[in-house]
Amino acid sequence: MARCFLILENGTIAEGTGFGFEKTIVGEVVFNTGMSGYQESLTDPSYKGQILVMSHPLIGDYGINPRYSESDSVQVAGYVVREACRDPSKMYGGKSLDDYLKEYQVPGISEIDTRSIILDIRSRGVLKGAITFDDDPEKLLDEVCKMPAYSSKNWVGEVSTKEIVRFENKGAKKLALIDCGVKGSILSELKKRFEVIMVPYNVDKSFFRNEEIDGVFLSNGPGDPAHPAIQESTIQTVKAIKEDYPIMGICYGTQLLARAFGGTTYKMKFGHRGSNQPIKHKGKVYITSQNHGYAVDEESLEDTGFVADHINVNDGTVEGITHKELPVFAVQYHPEASAGPHDTMFLFDEFKKKLEESR
């Protein structure tokens, strides 16, 4: 068992046991409160560049299975757990977390008082941090403090598709999916209902002129929606087409939509990451899966034509917006679940209906 350290910008240096791939990494430290679905989180592109702390102490218990990957690799920069299961249940094949992280060259640290780290994040907000297997962690603390802010990097650029990919679905409506780091399960929900054309986040506007499509989907993704690279590309594209198609957004897609219509977004203290977030929509409560560190500013929606019609029951933040006239809506949470509850899966059907109703 390798000695390993978790270093936080607040000066915390926690010793633990390393697992996965032995290397030093830095990243923004965030936490997730889901009790199952660790593999889905590990492979969620929205975690790009982040060190993920799991609040549930036992991780890896049912092993790793290809069917639970949300993308083709592990996306988190580093993984922090109380216990990484050595001998998982064999019901799903029994592959261990340790082997999995080794395979994707991602370091993990276990035997950490994760609750105490989460309490730090809760009081201070997300923290910069590092995982290292070096014997002199103090050395790294300075580097961590000086590390550029998470918002300063164009993370979407790292996870978005480089080329246009088409998924046939005979007879179905044609949907352009602007990929900012789309989760596999969103793609699969869309593929069930539409013919999907997945395009890069910075796809040229001419694509929409040349291609006959029925609707647009804005995916989830990592990083700050206010980043200049996004502002210049995706947001401009959305601005150009926003009145032409039915549009649905999820998570990052919500923030893009709000911004494209003139609203603003902000970085949350420590975000929402987990499978138990209650939201209220049309008088009913739904339990949702979430993973976001940025949110739409409700006041900024005033002149955008949007209403915030999905609201977080816990903290009152905007969890979804619907346009008063246009067939455009987006939710900050993840109706596709994976991991998490399926309570709001119906939104994909509503979107499908919107496409069928328009023209």
Summarize as ranges the residues that interact with other proteins (CB under 8 A).
Answer: 14, 33-37, 40, 55-58, 61-62, 65, 67-68, 82-83, 85-92, 111, 113-116, 118-119, 122, 274-278, 280, 283-285, 287, 313-314, 337-342
Closest CB 143 distance from other proteins, rounded Å = 23
Number of alpha carbons in the 13 Å side-chain half-sphere of residue 307: 7
Helix locations, 71-220, DSSP H: 97-103, 114-124, 138-146, 156-159, 184-193, 206-210
The two structure tokens encoding residue 232: 């210049």
Please, which residue, 278 or 305, has the CB nearer to other proteins?
278
Closest CB 64 distance from other proteins, rounded Å = 10
Please, which residue, 112 or 230, has the CB nearer to other proteins?
112
Q: Tell me, yes or no, if 22 is annotated catalytic.
A: no
162-165 long-range Cβ contacts below 8 angstroms, 24+ apart: 162/200, 163/200, 164/197, 164/198, 164/199, 164/200, 164/203, 164/207, 165/197, 165/198
Closest CB 289 distance from other proteins, rounded Å = 9
Say if residue 10 is exposed, middle or buried (CB neighbours under 10 Å; 0-12, 13-18, 19+): middle
Closest CB 279 distance from other proteins, rounded Å = 10
Distance CA 332, CA 341 (A): 15
Sign of CA dihedral 241, 242, 243, 248: positive
- DSSP string for residues in 263-328: --EEEEEEEEEEEEEEEEETTEEEEEEEEEEEEE-GGGGTTTTEEEEEEETTT--EEEEEESSSSE
Please, which residue, 122 or 324, has the CB nearer to other proteins?
122
Q: Tell me, yes or no, if 334 is annotated catalytic.
A: yes
Distance CA 190, CA 213 (A): 14
Distance CA 359, CA 355 (A): 8
Q: Which of 227, 272, 310, 334 is catalytic?
A: 334
Q: Tell me, yes or no, if 28 is annotated catalytic.
A: no
Phi then psi for 202, rounded to 5 degrees? -105, 30
Closest CB 115 distance from other proteins, rounded Å = 5
| Residue in the structure block whose two tokens are 């690279």 | 229
Please, which residue, 39 or 202, has the CB nearer to other proteins?
39
Q: Which of 251, 272, 292, 319 is catalytic?
A: 251
Residue 57 one-letter amino acid: P
Closest CB 92 distance from other proteins, rounded Å = 6
Closest CB 183 distance from other proteins, rounded Å = 13
**How is the beta sheet containing 306-312 ordered, strand by strand?**
165-167, 194-200, 173-179, 215-218, 247-250, 328-331, 318-323, 306-312, 265-281, 284-296
Distance CA 60, CA 68 (A): 12
Please, which residue, 3 or 267, has the CB nearer to other proteins?
3
Please, which residue, 233 or 275, has the CB nearer to other proteins?
275
343, 288 in Cβ contact below 8 A?
yes
Please, which residue, 161 or 276, has the CB nearer to other proteins?
276
Q: Which residues are catalytic?
A: 251, 334, 336
